[in-house]
Each structure stands twice: as structure tokens, then as C-alpha cells.
């Protein structure tokens, strides 16, 4: 009986972790598809261009995600914050310099990926589309991050003001659009 209970618990944990992985993959896929739709619309791509663009953009997007994922702290890393702690952690000059250096290295890697795919995108997009591609993509990425509740957005997931909006009250933009529907 005890063995069956342990086996049941282990299988339950395995299923829940695989379900979480599938959920994360489906979220990334939904964001990817939304970005592609927006890029196709804003850059006014033809159906032929879209067919050629999507596989190249998928590889580009995966590499960019990998670059930025390198900089995120892994589970258990980073500063531990006690629940309810409101004081800012005072960083030393060396910590700030190390953080800035790491961020600049990540930006350099991201630029390298952009340069790697520049010729590939030029094979698919015309001159006007190429000149607007990175700007349009950055705007779309920023908009998606705001909706996901990242620090650049107006609101956090819990509906409280984000870092750039301290003291402002209101609702998350995503919640406003849900109410209109």
C-alpha cells in the first residue's frame, strides 16, 4: 500500500511538471504567433513572403530567447527577498559594474544574432520592410512584455503600478481590453 501511494505521488509530480512544460511551450508559441501576425500586418508582407519569413523568424526568435534567458537568474540564484520586505538592497559599485557588464555582454550577443539573420531576412523582405523590421519587432516585443507584466510595463500582474509607474493607480491594460469584449 505504501509503495502504491509513493508511486502515485511520483507519477503525479511527473505529470504536473510535464504539464507545466507544455503550458510554457504553448504560451511561447502563442506569443510567437502573435508576433508573426503583427509583423506580417505592419510590414505588409505578401503570402509568399510570410511563407518564407516564418521559418527564418522562428530560428531567429529562438536564438534571441536563448540569449536573454542566459541573463535571467536560475532558480535559487540572485538576492533572496523576505516576504513583505520593502527596503531596497544597497549594491556596491562592484556589483553594479558587474551587472552592467553582464547586461552589455548580453546586448552584444543579441546584436550578433541580429547581424547573423540580417542577410536571411533580406532574402525575404524588400528594402522598405527591411528598414522597418527591427523597429517594428522591438515595438511588438515591448507591447507583449507590457501585457505579460514585465518591468517596462505600466502595470504588474497583480494590478499594482509597475516600476515605471510608481504611485499611479489604475488597471492593467490587458484587463481593460478584456472588459470591453
What is the model's pLDDT at position 104? Answer: 92
Q: Locate cell 531596497: which residue?
A: 88
Helix (H, G, I), strand (E, B) or coil at 155: strand
- Tell me if 152 is assigned to some domain: no
What is the model's pLDDT at position 19? Answer: 44
Which residue segment(s) compose the domain that 61 sits in?
7-70+96-145
What is the model's pLDDT at position 11? Answer: 55
Task: State how far the alpha carbon of 164 is from the alpha carbons of 20, 22, 38, 150, 155, in Å.
Answer: 30, 32, 25, 11, 9
- Tell me if 151 is assigned to some domain: no
- Tell me if 159 is assigned to some domain: no
Q: In the chain, how many domains are there?
A: 1
- Using one digit for the tens of pLDDT, what is the confidence trace for 103-146? 899 999 999 999 999 999 999 999 999 999 999 998 988 888 78
- 3 state SS for 30-98: HHHHHHHHHHHHHCCCCHHHHHHHHHHHHHHHHHHHHHHHHHCCCCCCCCCCCCCCCCCCCCCHHHHHH
What is the model's pLDDT at position 112? Answer: 94
What is the model's pLDDT at position 153? Answer: 44
The parts of the chain modelled with pLDDT lower than 70 are 1-25, 73-89, 150-181
What is the model's pLDDT at position 56? Answer: 95
- Tell me if 141 is assigned to some domain: yes
What is the model's pLDDT at position 167? Answer: 44
What is the model's pLDDT at position 151? Answer: 57
Its pTM stands at 0.60
Q: Locate cell 527591411: which residue?
A: 130
Amino acid at each position: 500500500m505504501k509503495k502504491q501511494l509513493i508511486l502515485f505521488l511520483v507519477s503525479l509530480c511527473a505529470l504536473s511538471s510535464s504539464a507545466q512544460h507544455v503550458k510554457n511551450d504553448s504560451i511561447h508559441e502563442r506569443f510567437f504567433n502573435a508576433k508573426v501576425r503583427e509583423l506580417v500586418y505592419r510590414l505588409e508582407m505578401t503570402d509568399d513572403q510570410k511563407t518564407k519569413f516564418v521559418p527564418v523568424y522562428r530560428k531567429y526568435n529562438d536564438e534571441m530567447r536563448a540569449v536573454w534567458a542566459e541573463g535571467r537568474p536560475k532558480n535559487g540564484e540572485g538576492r533572496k527577498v523576505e516576504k513583505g520586505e520593502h527596503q531596497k538592497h544597497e549594491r556596491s559599485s562592484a556589483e553594479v559594474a558587474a551587472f552592467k557588464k553582464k547586461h552589455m555582454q548580453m546586448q552584444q550577443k543579441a546584436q550578433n544574432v541580429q547581424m547573423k539573420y540580417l542577410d536571411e531576412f533580406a532574402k525575404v523582405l524588400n528594402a522598405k520592410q527591411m528598414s522597418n523590421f527591427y523597429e517594428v519587432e522591438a515595438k511588438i516585443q515591448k507591447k507583449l512584455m507590457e501585457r505579460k507584466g514585465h518591468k517596462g510595463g505600466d502595470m504588474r500582474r497583480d494590478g499594482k503600478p509597475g516600476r515605471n509607474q510608481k504611485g499611479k493607480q489604475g488597471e492593467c491594460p490587458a484587463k481593460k481590453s478584456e472588459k470591453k469584449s
